[in-house]
Structure 1
Amino acid sequence: MTEPDISAADVHDRLNAHQIVLIDVREPAEYAAERIHGALNLPLTTFDPAALPVGGDRPVILQCGSGKRSAMALDLCRKAGVEVAGHLAGGIGAWRAAGLPVIRIDPATGAVRDVR
C-alpha cells in the first residue's frame, strides 16, 4: 500500500477513468440511502479482505462515511496480507464537500437521484 489516504478528487478521477474498484464499507442502509456511483458495498461488520476483487488490473480503494471505518478495513487488509491501494480520506463526507456527485434515494418517492 503506497498511499493510504487518497483525496476525493483523485478517487473521482480514477473512478471515472475506470482505473480503480471502489469498495464502500458502510452498512447496507447507509449505502442504499446515499452512495458514490460505481462503488460496491462490502460492510465492515461482515468485512472479509479475501472477498475483495484484488489481483486484477484495477486496484481497490476503500471508502466509508468519514474515513474511520475504511481505515479500519485497510488495517484488516494489511493484517490479512491483502493489498489495496488505500482509502478515500474523509469518506463520502469529503466527497460531498468537494462538490462531487452522489446517488441518493428520495425517501418520499423511492426515486434514485444524482445530486451534488
Structure 2
Amino acid sequence: MPDTGIIEVTPQDAKAWLDKGLAILIDVREPYEYGFERIPGALLFPLATFEPKSLPLGETKKVVLQCGTAKRSGMAAQRAIDAGVATIYHVKGGLSAWKEAKLPILDINPATGAIEPKEL
C-alpha cells in the first residue's frame, strides 16, 4: 500500500530523488529568501500565495516541499492535504538541514552579485 499523508524525508533522500529525476522540489519561502540562497532546481511557490491546486501533481514525480527549517513547508504540506492531495513530502529540517548535510546550494556572490554554487 502506498504512503499517504505528509511524509518527512531527509535532505539526503530528497537529493537522491532529485538526482534520479524522481521528485520535484518546491521552495515555499519568500522570493527574497529564494533569491539569496536556494537548493539547485527548486521551484518557488511562496507560502504567502501557496495554492495546492497549482502544484505539479499530475506528474509521476514526488512533490517535495522545503523551506528554511521545515515549519513553513509543514504548513504548506498541511494545506495540500486539506485540499485533497493524497501524499506530499517535505524535507525534515529544511534548508538548514540540507546545508548541515553539506549538500549543494546556490547563493549570491557578494563580490559580483551572481548566483553561484556555494562550497559548504
- Pick the TM interval, shorter chain: over 0.9
Describe how 1:84-95 pairs up with structure 2 within 5 A.
84-95=87-98
SS in 2 for 1:107: coil
- Aligned AA for 1:106? N
Which residues in structure 2 correspond to 1:31-42 (within 5 Å)? 31-42=34-45
1:25 aligns with 2:35: no
Structure 1 gaps, min length 5 = none
Query: Residue type of the partner of 2:94?
Result: G
* Aligned counterpart, 1:46: 49
Q: Which has the higher strand share?
A: 2
Q: How many residues align?
A: 116
- 1:3 and 1:82 map into 2 onto residues whose CA distance is 10
1:79 aligns with 2:82: yes
Shift in Å, 1:3: 5.8
The aligned counterpart of 1:11 is 14
Which blocks of at least 5 consecutive residues in structure 2 are unaligned?
none
**Length-normalised TM-score, structure 1:** 0.94
Which of these residues, 36, 57, 69, is aligned with residue 72 of structure 2? Answer: 69
